């Protein structure tokens, strides 16, 4: 697919030609282990995967267009424009983060952040690309935009974006966080906003919580923002400290098993679990405690290349999510059972929020085709239709793309 061509077909040509269109990308994620622990201040071990979302962006000369000053969003995916809430939320929350920065009485800055400031006076070094004076964020037009302190619109809204992704919606592989993070990195770079990746992750989570009304934890955006090919991200959600754990899977391959049961309508049950945790529900808390222990053990198993031990931990995690946390469902259980019954599989579990969506399995690389055929047959027998089964790899996190 020639995305730049599609972009100009939708939004028209400009003087800069294709070079004026910049391309960004954000992956999806699977969580290897550590489920429903993020919003409980626990440990998670996700990795970014080799499916994701492209975001193409171009500044617009608003003199030439009718709908002055509004960003325009399009997608190559033939889905209803319900997805537009994700980029719109990011625009809103990035603006908000910028106005927070401009409004803070003392703009705490250091060279590391690429700008400097004084109390009550936003002075930004020219190196960062713009400068300002007290009570008035004035940005030279040379930089492409200007804004006033107190005005939330500190970067201009006249840009066009095209999204193109291959993560199945509602499958629990974080297609929404992928769109959000692709938007966040695109705006951050295009307008040289100077946010660090962790700030973008927090903005994306804030947007998902407040703009989209989904009360998720930070895991998905974090995994997508920090992903590193060949590694999983071990994150402590209590203090945001993280480390990369090498994915030493040896002869085994990480497989995604999609129940094709979509979980989009189950946000209320997710919120219910969160409330139960806050209320100290004994079985829910038992899951969180044992799951945290499993994350530590799983990270050690991955480091040591002990895939059999990792596999056992996946199965224990699934059982705990099914019995103690009660977020599995008939389809997920059927798929995980069919997987672990197969001799080439050392372990499987549901991944993500649950109630549908995907599971993951660790399968001998050389036997993936036989495994897929057997699991498909088994699942079809009990559920009535075939699952989607495909191998996946850990991948790099969100960022600019140099060539399409
Ligand atoms: C969803 C949420 C995450 C996390 C998982 C469960 O994916 O978005 O924040 O809570 O469920 O581990």
Catalytic residue of the set 61, 62, 110, 220: 220
pLDDT at 132 over 80: no
- Neighbouring C-alpha atoms within 13 Å toward the C-beta of 361: 31
pLDDT > 70: percent of the chain: 84
d(CA 155, CA 150): 13
Better-scored residue on pLDDT, 372 or 16 = 372
Answer yes or no: is the C-beta of 217 below 6 A from any ligand 1 atom: yes
pLDDT at 112 over 60: no
**Which pLDDT tens digit goes with each residue over 316-332?**
999 999 999 999 999 99
CATH class, domain 3-34+48-227, is: alpha beta
pLDDT class for 150, splitting at 50, 70, 90?
very low
CATH topology of 3-34+48-227 equal to that of 247-391? no
pLDDT class for 125, splitting at 50, 70, 90?
very low
Q: Which is the closest atom of ligand 1 to the Cα of 177?
A: 8
CA of 31 to the centre of ligand 1 (A): 9
Superfamily of domain 247-391: GHMP kinase, C-terminal domain (3.30.70.890)
Q: Residue 180's pLDDT is what?
A: 98
Of 135-144, 263-272, 338-347, least confident by mean pLDDT is 135-144
Answer yes or no: is the C-beta of 89 below 6 A from any ligand 1 atom: no
Domain regions of the chain by residue span: 3-34+48-227, 247-391
pLDDT class for 64, splitting at 50, 70, 90?
low
- Structure tokens of 17? 């030609």
pLDDT averaged over the chain? 87
Q: Residue 135's pLDDT is what?
A: 32
pLDDT class for 147, splitting at 50, 70, 90?
very low
Active site residue 38: no
């Amino acid at each position: 697919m020639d995305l730049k061509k599609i972009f100009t077909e939708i939004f028209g040509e400009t003087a800069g030609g294709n070079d004026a269109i910049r391309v960004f990308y954000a992956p999806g994620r699977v969580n290897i282990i550590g489920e429903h622990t993020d919003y409980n201040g626990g440990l998670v071990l996700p990795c970014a995967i080799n499916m994701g979302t492209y975001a193409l962006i171009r500044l617009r000369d608003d003199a030439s267009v009718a709908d002055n000053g509004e960003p325009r969003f399009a997608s190559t995916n033939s889905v209803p424009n319900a997805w537009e809430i994700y980029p719109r939320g990011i625009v809103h929350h990035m603006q908000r983060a910028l106005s927070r920065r401009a409004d803070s009485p003392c703009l705490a800055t250091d060279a590391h952040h690429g700008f400097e400031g004084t109390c009550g006076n936003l002075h930004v070094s020219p190196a960062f690309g713009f400068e300002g004076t007290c009570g008035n964020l004035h940005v030279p037009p040379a930089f492409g935009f200007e804004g006033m302190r107190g005005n939330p619109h500190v970067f201009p809204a006249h840009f066009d974006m095209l999204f193109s992704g291959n993560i199945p919606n509602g499958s629990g592989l974080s297609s929404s966080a992928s769109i959000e993070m692709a938007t966040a990195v695109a705006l951050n770079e295009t307008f040289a906003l100077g946010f660090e990746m962790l700030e973008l992750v927090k903005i994306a989570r804030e947007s998902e919580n407040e703009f989209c009304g989904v009360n998720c934890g930070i895991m998905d955006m974090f995994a997508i923002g920090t992903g590193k090919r060949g590694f999983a991200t071990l994150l402590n959600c209590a203090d945001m400290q993280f480390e990369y754990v090498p994915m030493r899977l040896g002869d085994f391959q990480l497989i995604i098993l999609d129940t094709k049961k979509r979980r989009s309508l189950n946000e209320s049950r997710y919120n219910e679990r969160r409330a139960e945790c806050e209320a100290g529900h004994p079985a829910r808390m038992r899951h969180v405690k044992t799951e945290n222990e499993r994350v530590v053990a799983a990270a050690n198993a991955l480091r040591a290349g002990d895939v059999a031990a990792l596999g056992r931990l996946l199965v224990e995690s699934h059982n705990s999510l099914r019995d103690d946390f009660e977020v599995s469902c008939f389809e997920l259980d059927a798929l995980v059972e069919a997987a672990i019954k197969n001799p080439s599989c050392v372990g499987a579990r549901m991944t993500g929020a649950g109630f549908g969506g995907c599971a993951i399995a660790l399968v001998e690389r050389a036997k993936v085709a036989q495994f897929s055929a057997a699991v498909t047959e088994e699942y079809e027998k009990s559920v009535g239709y075939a699952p989607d089964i495909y191998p996946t790899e850990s991948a790099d996190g969100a960022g600019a793309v140099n060539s399409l």
